[in-house]
Structure 1
Amino acid sequence: MNSEIFESYITVPKSAIDDMNHVNNVTYLQWVQDIAKKHWEAKTDQEIRDTYVWVVLNHYIEYHHPALENDELTIQTWIDHHHGAKSERHTKIIKTSTQKVIVTAKTMWCLLHKETLRPTRINQEISNLFSSI
């Protein structure tokens, strides 16, 4: 799948800082989930969102460098591939001023029919929304 990169930006708030004076690991994971939701909402209409919902099957996250309070971060996400009801999404968090990669993450998502909460195949309509071809 040839997917476009979706970006969001954040300034690290004081509330994200832990006892070691850098962004807490759980906060990064929240940002990974938040940008996935923003991407989904930016690409879909209300009818699609009323029909489908995503759940996480697993996360793999690597912490490369710390981020500190007031750092400006660029958060990027894209779909690497999908098969059946599963979709592999990648996320990269970058310190904007230096372009240093702070965090990389890979998340496996499963598409569910919202009413039944049963897995449902990712159809061509949804696939096309996230493809840059």
Structure 2
Amino acid sequence: MNKVFTLTITVSSKDIDSLLHVNNLVYVKWMDKIATNHWSFLTKEHPLPQYIWVVMRHEIDYLKQAILGDEITVKTWVGETRGITSERFMEFYKKNVLLVKAKTIWAMLDAKTYKPARIREDVLKVLSPK
């Protein structure tokens, strides 16, 4: 497994739905937030503005609920990367209890043309640090 990146989120009232738990769509927003933060962290010393990422697919398993005030630890890491796609895995925990696990397939695009861009060595070095 590649290096794990972690983010902590406290559940606020805007995250809660009519069932009094975190709404499913909120997890998708959090997935985008941690993926973006992780990419920024990985490229902070060597930015790669010529590329952008778009989601092709989400697979999400909702296992347990989170409620108002819960502190959620989100862990993410990069999986297989080849062609134009890269897997990203995420796990959401309350203390040591796994609440949600997800896998997202991202596609890399050229930032100017928005056309798919083959993932080259410069990006692989960032996504797969040794």
Return the TM-score normalized by structure 1: 0.92
* CA deviation profile, 1:46-75 (whole Å, cap 9, x unmatched): 741x21100000101010000011001100
Q: Is the 8 A contact 1:4 1:130 kept in 2?
A: no
**2:54 match:** 55
Identity %: 36
Among 106, 109, 113, the residue aligned to 2:106? 109
Q: Does 1:129 align with 2:126?
A: yes
Distance in structure 2 (CA, Å) of the matches to 1:27 and 1:7: 17
Q: Which runs of 5+ in 1 are unaligned?
A: none
* CA deviation profile, 1:70-127 (whole Å, cap 9, x unmatched): 001100111111111100110100012xx10000010000000100101111111211
Q: Which runs of 5+ in 2 are unaligned?
A: none
Query: Which stretch of structure 1 is more off in the superposition, 106-115 or 117-126?
Result: 117-126
Return the TM-score normalized by structure 2: 0.94
Deviation at 1:132, TM superposition (A): 3.7
Q: How does 1:1-133 map to 2 (within 5 A)?
A: 2-45=1-44, 47-48=47-48, 50-96=49-95, 99-133=96-130
Distance in structure 1 (CA, Å) of the matches to 2:109 and 2:73: 29
Q: Which runs of 4+ in 1 moved over 3 A?
A: none
Amino acid at match of 1:27: V
Distance in structure 2 (CA, Å) of the matches to 1:47 and 1:59: 26
